[in-house]
Each structure stands twice: as structure tokens, then as C-alpha cells.
Chains A and B, each alone.
Chain A
Amino acid sequence: MEPKIKIRIITREKIQEDFLASIFGKFFIEVTSLAMFTLRFFKEVWKPPYELNELLKQSFLVGYKSFPLVAITGFIIGLVLTIQSRPTLAKFGAVSMLPAMVAVSLIREIGPVITALIFAGKVGSGIGAELASMKVTEQIDAMQVSGTNPFKYLVVTRVLASTVMLPLLVVLADAVGLMGSFVGVNLKGNVSASFFFQEVFQSLDFNDVLPAIVKTFFFGFAIGLIGCYKGYYANTGTEGVGKAANAAVVFASLMVFIIDMIAVQLTSVLQY
């Protein structure tokens, strides 16, 4: 008797359907899971104990330890932006507008976004890798067994530290960036510091500074939260640690741009 052979015909449409279902399914599961994680954060953040020592430690680690990198980058951005803008302004005979132009672009957009991206690369990946490695080595389980709420101790403190420290880093990066710009202006000119900073502050108003600072709280929150989420739910094994760190940077950077886009739209609607 001949063996029966079952032939299953898989159409191209079926493959595409399965592929899309798989992609969208994963996407919605991920979004729901992140939303649950965020809700848990808001539920836990009000409950004692408040883990103040760990919060201070994390603030030191994510804030103070990031300052040199942020300062160097801010200085270079201010310097380069000034040097690159000068020829264009010179064509229109508007070199005197250089401090004002650099200040507005730096304070409104470039300072917050570049600092947030550096922060995502340094702090977001660090948090993701740290929590993932703690999960892989059962340190999170050990914490739970010893009567500690690991979510409060690890996640809440890191997210709060990121939320509070990023705006401070942005202010510092903006200040150092303006110093870089001052150096850039003086490479091909002779402008006094008092004149430069007078031009800078005359060009800025409340509507430039406040929205730019407010959005950095959201950047910091998103970076901390995504880093913690990716680390806390990392797959076991060393591969999971690498993936968590990588995913934390990618998603946090993407979120920075999305939040920035929303913030710009909101600001323009509210201002005009």
C-alpha cells in the first residue's frame, strides 16, 4: 500500500497574513506590556518605603557621572553649530545674528534632543543591561525573597532619577554649548563675552526656555522607564542582557523623537 502524503498548500497571501499578524501581535503585546509597566510605576511610586538612599545614589550615578560626556558634547555642538552657520549668515550680512540664532536653536531643540540621545545611550543602555544581568543571575529574585519589593527598589528609583537628572543635564549642556558658541564666534571675530551673552539673552524669552525644559522631564522619564522595562523583562541568558541593552537604547531614542515631535506641536498650538 502506498503511503499517503499530505500536501499543504501555503499561499503567498497566507504567509503575508501570518507575518503581519505576528508583527502586529508582537507590537500590541509589547505596547500593552509597557503600558502595564507604566501603570505599575505610578501605583508603586506613592507607596512607602520611598527608598531615598537608593534614589540619591541613582541620581548621582545617572546625573553627576553623565555630566562630563554631556558637557563635552554640548561644547562641541555649540562650537560646530556656530562655525557652520557663519557662512550662511555672512551671505546675508547677518553675522551679528549668530549668537541669537545659535542660542535659540540650541536652547529650543538641539540641546535637549542631543543631550537626551546621549543620555539614552549612556544611562538607558546601562539600566537595561544592569537589570537584565540582575535578572539573569537571580539577584532580583533574591531581593524579593529577602522581603524587598524589587520594582520599587530598582525601577521606581531609576525612573525618578532619570526624570529629575536629565533636565539638569540639559541646562548644563545648554550653558556649556553657549560657551562653545562664544569660542566659535571668536574664532573669526572679536566679540566680548558681555556682548555675546547680552545678544543671547535678548533673543530668548520665556516661551523658548520653559517648553524646552518641560519636555526634558518626559524624555528622562521615557528613557528611564524603557531602560528598566527592557531590563526587568529581559530573556534569561547572557544573550538577553545584550538584547535588553540594545533594545533600551533603540526604543528610548525613538521615544525621544516621538515626544519631541508631540512637544513641538503642542508648543506651537499653545503659543500661536
Chain B
Amino acid sequence: MPAAESAATTTQSAAPGGRDPAGWPLIALLGNPNTGKSTIFNRLTGLRQRIANYPGITVEARQGLMVNCGRTMQVLDLPGTYSLSATSPDERVVIDVLTGHGGQPKPDLVVCILDATNVRRNLFLASQLAEFEMPVILVLNQWDVAVRRGIAPDPRALEHALGVPVLTTVGTKGHGLAELRQAICDSLAKPRRMRRIEWQQATLEAGETLRAAIRDAGGDVTLAEAHRIIFDSRSAIRERLPVDKDRLGELVQEARAKIRRSGLNPAAAEAILHYAHIDGLLADAIRGSRAMIRGGDESIDALLVHRVWGSLIFVAVMWVVFQSVYAWAAPFMDLIDAGTSWLQETVGGALAGTPVFASLVSDGIIAGAGGVVIFLPQIFILFLFIALLEDSGYMSRAAFLMDKLFGWCGLNGKSFVPLLSSYACAIPGVMAARALEDPKARLTTVLMAPFMSCSARLPVYVLLIGAFIEPVYGTFVAGWVLFGMHFVGLAVALPLVWFLNRVVLRTPQLPFLLEMSSYKIPDMRNVVLKMWEGGREFLLRAGTVILAFSVIIWALLYFPRDPSVATRAEEAFVAARSSEVGAAQAAAELADPASDSSVALAHAIDGAYLEQSFLGRFGKFVQPVFALAGFDWKITVGVLSSFPAREVIIATLGIIYNLGDDVDEQSEGLRGAMAAQTWPDGPRAGQPVFTVPVVLAVMVFFALCMQCGATLAVIGRQIGWSWAVGSFIGMSALAWSGAVLVFQIGSFLAR
């Protein structure tokens, strides 16, 4: 489908929601959470969709294209919201789009998706929408469930009462979608506006008076916007007005006083009047549609949120999720790893004629791309589980169970899944934090994720504990140290998060209101699309940044590569070998490229190049700073080189200790070489470099440092680059301080 593809490319380049020259109509989908809105969006647009990012805030509305009655149309899936009071970033985007301030013109048509099993509450949002006097279609989704439970409203009566088309759909099965497409075409040709609430006199006058006053002050708002300003103390509309803040505050107070004098509490007036409007106007249509909690849901909840059984089931579910992200992904990751190595060797071999280019392609680009792709299995698996948990209705129960544990430091129950999965890998964890509506909790969950001990830290722990703790203190202690290392980040992060939320970000916390909707069988189309979306977002948004990091670090490790370094290393090696076995024997060994000596020579040359590289020199230069933590220059270079990806340290140490890069955390050679390291000079000359305090200091450094370009990139995309850079610097400082503290205290105790 070339037409559709070229159309999709066009939107890719357009600003979020920006109308393109073709003049495609913009259709916005609006609705409460859990109405099946996204399923309908997926049905309408198929895979021709992407996430439209709104600059400066962490809200993502999905945008897609559909071809309908011979025209291309843009479809915008707005974040699910219960009302138009613009307090959370999600709601802000909704109000901005509806008032034409979302960096785009107003939508040509709003399709408002209602949950047919709970029409009354869902109509509250629709009733607020009606005030904006836009063309509207109402869709009663999950119609089959409502009919089966005998609580379906009468769509004809609704249509008659509201004056707009009312359709019934079963999004998961695609029922009613053809009719919806047709209704969209009809409405674009002949727009119909929804009957709006008739405010009682005082509210109407208050709105008109405020509107006139704003106009006098040089602003311009509609009556609907004026009412939003009166009813929402922090409305997004309010901030956009060119009116002096204090003056506007007075005007709003006057308007609210007018409403109060009419006998209504202005805080509650809007909801009371809208619900009265809904109840009065729709008495006939929703008479038989009184929503109620299903007995089945009640029985499931009796088990799933039970004090004992609910907690046990929760632990079991989370264990499965964690194990899957951790273990199921492993074979795929190994496969990607093997594929990357194979490609590196093949391409490196083919380009052997130009060593610089060969190294750039195989060690810089292919290694970098492999380092991106390797996270895909974990992202897919985590998003599979998140989609299943969300669509089934269990996620809100999990948040309910966990909320108390997280509330004290400003997080909430929904932080649990992102943080748990960060123990496997922070990247899917950061991405999963999108599910948190409360902006403060979302921000802090993202900032906390890289402190969780991800699986890339494990090789470092295994190497150091295996080489230095286990031989001295035994397996039992080694196991406990490994276990304890997994909590270092958490223990440091929790007080910081508390401090950040209670002292730094002193914006009020939103109430943690959680709808515990009916249990459902997940819609597999939705599940697969969520996985696909997670993977694609990661590749598109983070992949490029990670690749760039990887190439930069490669260059710092490769250049300047003065050939005299190799010559000197070779001379030194030959001299040393000659003095051991005689010059003739040494020359004979080196004549055979497969001999142990030749391999050792190649490793020695690699080591010398690394030492003389920009990063190697930089490492030596800054080593005094790390000396406070007991690091020699080799550890320092290893630590610095692993900033783009912490697992790289193993290979770097292999090169530094002249063992080549083909070592892993179990290598006896690497463990032996590290144990044999002694300080060449200085106060500790002759003593081993790796003492227990040094080993612990290195591990604490890794536990607290964000040595992961991929995480940095994902955080930057998610909550903004200033936060990403800030947390990177903050974590680096914490890691250094932690390492210094551990080393100094450890050395003092060991004395």
C-alpha cells in the first residue's frame, strides 16, 4: 500500500498534530479511561500510527491515519480522562486540543467513546465536551457486555435527547466499526452539535461577566472556556490568557461569589449541575441502565485483594513477570549477542584492509546497534505483561495492594511494576512509568528506575565477588553480599525520592483515585500492538542516541593510535620473552601467528593502545580523584569506558590486563590477573590493588551510577533532557561519594 505508506511518512515529519497541506480532517477520540478507546483507535488506523509527543510534558497521545470515504483523515487518540478540569498533564493535552491550543487547529470532529456499562458517569465528560460546541459523535462501546448484563441504555433515545449520532460498538470484535466510519463521513459533511447544559441564571451570568472582563483586558475566551476558568483553579486555559494573574484571580473570585450567592457551592456546582442535566435529559434513555458491580467481579476481588491470598497471588504474579523479563529474555539476548559478534567478525574481516574503518564499523557502529537491539526482548516481554495486566483489570488491583508501601515517599501503587521491572532493566521500566497519571509520581518513578539493580550490573558483581569475596569468606558470605548489592540502589534512592517530593517539588500531590474496573479477557490485538509500540518507540527514540554514544566512546578508546605505541609494546614484549627463552626461541614463536606468544603479543599491543587512547590518558589524568575510592588507573579507565554500558567493563578490563576482550565474569584468567595486580609505586607500592574495601567500593560505584547510555536516552525522551542530565550527574556524584565512603570506612576498619 504505497499511498498509505507515503501518507504515514508525511505525518512522521509533521509537528504533533500539525495540519499538513493536504487539509486532512482531524478526528479526536475522547473518553474515560477503560472505555476501550484505544481498541477503537487501533481498529480505525491499523498500524499507521505513532505517538505524538507534546513538548515539555510527558504526555503521549497516539496519532494515526485512516482512509475513509475516499479521504485521508488524521485520528488523534487523546489520553483517557474523567473530566476536562486541566490539572494533570494528560487532561491539559485534552483541553489544549479541544480549544485549538495544542499546536494545531481544533479537531473537525470529536468522537466521544463511552463505556456502555457505565453510561451515566461517562456522559459527564461528554456533557462537558458539549459546552465547547464542536461536532460530536457518541459511541457506546462494550455494547455486548452492557446488553448481556441488561444495563444497556437506549441509543435512539440518547440520540434524540442529545442531538448527535449515537452508535454502538464492540471494539474488541470490530462490531459497529463500519457504521462508525460512515457516521464520521456523514458528520464531517453535515456536522451536528451536542445539546449542551443549560446553566442556571447565576452560573451563566458569572461566565458571561468573566468573559466580558477578559475581553476588556485584551483576551478572548469562549463561554465554555470562561466556565472552565471559573470551575478549575488551575486550568490550562487560565495560564494562556494575557491578563494579569492577580486581576484574573479577582475576576474568578467575583464569578465564584456570584454562584455562591445563588445558593450553590462553586466547588461542587459544575458536577452537580452536569449530573442533574444528564439525569434529567436522559431519564428515558438510561432508565434501565443503572450500572452495578457484577457479582463475579466482587468474588474475584474478594480473593485478589484479600489480605492473605491477595498478597500471595500478587507476589506470585510479580515473580512470574520478573522471571520472564529476566529469564525468558535471556536466550533471545544471547542470540542477538551472538549475532552481533558474528557480524562484527564478518564485517571486521571484510574491512581488514582499512583498520580504522573496520574498527569504527565493528566496534563502534555494529557494537552500538547490537547494544540497542539487545534490549528489545526485555521490552517486548515486559510490555506483553503490562498489556495483559492492564487489559484484564488486574493492574489497578496491584496498584491498590501496593499503594501504602509507596505513598509515604510521594510515589503511588502504580510505581511498583515499573520499579520491579527495572531490576531486570531500567529501560522498559522507565517506559512503563507512562502509566502513572500523577505527574509527580511519574517523574519520581522514572528518576528512581536507574537505581534499581539491573541485570547488567550482575556480571560486575559476579566477577568481583567471585574473585575476591568468595575465596576469602566462602560461598555463604558471597551469596549475601550479592543479595545485598541488589538493595544498595533502593536504599539510597528511597530517602532521595522522599526528599525530592516533600522538600524540592512542593506541588500538591493529586489524590490517588483508582477505578477498579470490571475484569475482562484481554484483547490480543491490543496486547500485540502495545508490545510493538514499546519496541518501536525504543528503537526510534533511544536507538539513535545510544548509537551516537557508542561511536563517541569507541573513538575515545581508539584514537590517537600512534603506531609507535605498538612498536614500543612489541619491542618490550620481545625483549621480555627473549630474556625468558632466548632470542631465537622467541623469534620462532612469534613467527607463528597462532602461537601463544603471538596471541599474548597482540593482547599486549591492544592493552598499550588502550592505555595511550584519549580515554586511557583521561583515566590516568583523573585517577587521583578516584584514588580516594582506592581505584588505580586501570579500574578508573574501566569505569569510565563503561559509562555507555556498564557491562563493557569486563571486556575493557580484559584488554587492560592484556588478556584480550574475549573474557567474561567467570574467566579464571581475568580473576587471576586482577588478583595479581599490585600498586607499582606510591605509598601502597607492592600491595595488591584489589583489597576487600576496593572491591566493595567498585561495586557500590556500579550500583549507584547510571552507566547506561540507553537509560539516559530513554529518560531524556520521557521526562526531558534537563532531568536526564541532572540525574546522570547526580548519580555519578552519588556513585563517587558512595565508593569513597565505602573505601575509606573499609580501609579504616581493616587497619
A and B found bound together: no
Interface residue ranges, A against B (CB under 8 Å) = none
- B: residues with CB less than 8 A from A are none
